[in-house]
Structure 1
Amino acid sequence: MAVEKYGVLKGFAIESRMERDDNTPHYQVHMIDEEDTHYRIAVNVMSSSEESEVLYLVDEQFSAPKTSDLLALPYGFTVLGHENKETAIDYIRDELFNPAEMNPLPHDVTGPDNDLNDMLDKYIQKAIQEKAAVYIFGSRFGPEKQKDKIFGFQPTNGMHNVHMNQGNEDKPGREKDWAEDNGTWHDGALFIQFENYWVAVFLAFLSQSWCTDDKGYPTEQCDHKSAGIIY
């Protein structure tokens, strides 16, 4: 099926919140666009599977044709579909980075700069200070009438699924079947446009396979370091 309401949000980060004790913790970002529309970005920092650590890769000098597409985007949310597929992201087919360079990182470790919350906060705080444009790929939720549960703005509105959205195994009977989110060209990511350089953040779950068919379903179970991945 692929995640619903897939697209990219372009705006500015104004505050953030780390979650460490929740059962499904997220790194939360409060963003606004040029029309002062408010958004909450919920970034998974822990998986609900047995392999709880999340894979990550940060490219602090990101350079790819994709940045030209991003620069051309209007502020706010842009739906991505067949008519503008070239702007969408696919971790396996896009060749934006080498998956073998991804590493797992826990969401909560005592001390500074040593867990996924700390890593994300480092770049978001710099983006806030420098008023850098932030681009969030994922799926949109809202707007809904109630106040946002984290930042209190109303109506609640934002982005989630800011990670790879394919390669999920179909396991009948579990409370949430993540295989429903499988799809090609529907992956999430985070990009920050600083004055003279771009930073890109890519996230995936250890339980996801990197060998998928044209609908994003796993053809076999292979990890991010698999020789089957061509880069």
Structure 2
Amino acid sequence: MPLRSYGVWKAKPVSYVVEYKADDDKSPHLSLYFSDKGELNHDFGYNFRRAGRGNKEIAGLFRAAINIKSGDKNESRLIYWVDYDFKSHPIVNSLTGLSSGFYPLEEMGPTPAGVRLDYIRGNLFNVNTGRILPHDEPGSNNDMIDVLEPEVKQAIDHQADIYVFGEPFSDRKGIHNVHMNQGNVKRFAPDDGVFQDGGLLINYPQSGRWVGVFLGFASQAVHTDDKTGHAISSETWGDYIGTKKRDSELTEDSVTIDEALINPESDGPRARRRSITLTNPKDHTMSLSSWKIKNSAGEFQALPRDAALGAKSTQAFDIPDVHLSNLGDTITLLNEKGLKVDGVSYGSQQGVGRQPVAFAH
């Protein structure tokens, strides 16, 4: 069954403990300790880096247990994405006004338009920026500790606001499952579900900058069922990012969404209508018959039956049946099998103009 108490915890980060190979080589974590009392109480005195076992409680603080290695013996690596300009995602609008504390997201609704995370359907990041990383290896910038620790330390140093998505401990003294929670291997398949992925969002109020940190297991599936979250493809993140194995199942970026015209100037017969612009980066023609465009509300636009993109070509397609919100939205391209090919998002500042919104890939 899906996670029972999925939610988001807004708080202030105070300190962290990271477990190295010598501390725990089976199921190590980075434990991020935080306070949800609003302004930081500096009497805690824990805002420094510590090494050692991190599964201990600190009086007056909560703990986020963040996996930095998988328990899967066949594939123990993780996949890591970070977006340093996350403020353009529409979910930010829903989070900014929250007070400190834990929020069960069932109360906010399990729909795509809510604040629940979904790595596949939420278009939270460009999948191609992911890195497959081991737990703890000699050298620099080559393992999970190297890439995750600086983000946590900076959040603490700058007294940022953090938003931790996952499932609270049974005693409510912390939160875990701060990672992708769908497409699991058989052992963990009972935890599968859609719009219940974990993650860490960091907001620096003084600068207005948002950073999104997203973690998954290399053994998890790239494509999952829209209702159950179970794997519907044998392709894993380890296949896609780790080895770049471009097999017949691979769909990501076979066609990309480059632009979206959200607010047409007029409805005249010669005026450009609400549309998306697609590009085929391949050296062969791509048939788009039965492909669809979807927004965050679940509205679909089927592309014309004869739709196709020639090699290295770009074309705009009208989407009258898919409304794109001025407050920010997600746009997803699905192939004839219903598998995600590409996904983008934009925020409220981008959605108000008359010019097309451009997306980088």
Please state which band the TM-score falls in when normalised by the shorter chain. Answer: 0.7 to 0.9
Which residue number in structure 1 is paired with residue 193 of structure 2?
183
- 3-state DSSP of counterpart to 2:170: strand
Match of 1:100 among 128, 140, 145: 128
1:75 aligns to 2:87 (yes or no):
no
Tell me by how many angstroms 1:112 deviates: 4.0
Deviations 1:126-158 (A, max 9, x none): 1111110011001100327xxxxxxxxxxxx10
* Alpha-carbon distance between aligned partners in 2 of 1:46 and 1:102, rounded to the nearest angstrom: 16
Deviations 1:65-120 (A, max 9, x none): 11111112221110011643301011111111122321101111224443211221
Which residue identity does 1:134 align to in structure 2?
I
What is the total number of aligned residue pairs between the two structures? Answer: 213
- 3-state DSSP of counterpart to 1:81: helix
1:60 aligns to 2:46 (yes or no):
no
* Alpha-carbon distance between aligned partners in 2 of 1:15 and 1:55, rounded to the nearest angstrom: 24
Which residue identity does 1:15 align to in structure 2?
S
Which residue identity does 1:208 align to in structure 2?
Q
Which residue number in structure 1 is paired with residue 53 of structure 2?
none
TM-score (ref. length: structure 2): 0.56
Which residue identity does 1:92 align to in structure 2?
I
1:41 aligns to 2:64 (yes or no):
yes
Match of 2:177 among 138, 156, 161: 161
Which residue number in structure 2 is paired with residue 204 of structure 1?
216
- 3-state DSSP of counterpart to 1:121: helix
Taking only aligned residues, the RMSD between alpha carbons, in angstroms, comes to 1.7
Larger Rg: 2
Tell me by how many angstroms 1:38 deviates: 2.2
- 3-state DSSP of counterpart to 2:340: coil
Match of 2:234 among 215, 221, 225: 221
Which residue number in structure 2 is paired with residue 147 of structure 1?
none
> Do the aligned residues in 2 keep the contact of 1:210 with 1:229 (CA within 8 Å)?
no
* Alpha-carbon distance between aligned partners in 1 of 2:157 and 2:33, rounded to the nearest angstrom: 14
> Do the aligned residues in 2 keep the contact of 1:45 with 1:54 (CA within 8 Å)?
yes
Which residue number in structure 2 is paired with residue 17 of structure 1?
17
* Alpha-carbon distance between aligned partners in 1 of 2:101 and 2:92, rounded to the nearest angstrom: 17
Which residue identity does 1:81 align to in structure 2?
E
- 3-state DSSP of counterpart to 1:68: helix
1:51 aligns to 2:81 (yes or no):
no
Q: 1:51 to 1:87 in 2, by over 3 A?
A: same
Deviations 1:2-28 (A, max 9, x none): 122110010011110111131100111
Segments of 5+ residues of structure 2 without an aligned counterpart are: 42-59, 241-249, 252-338, 344-361
* Alpha-carbon distance between aligned partners in 2 of 1:98 and 1:181, rounded to the nearest angstrom: 25
Sequence identity percentage? 37
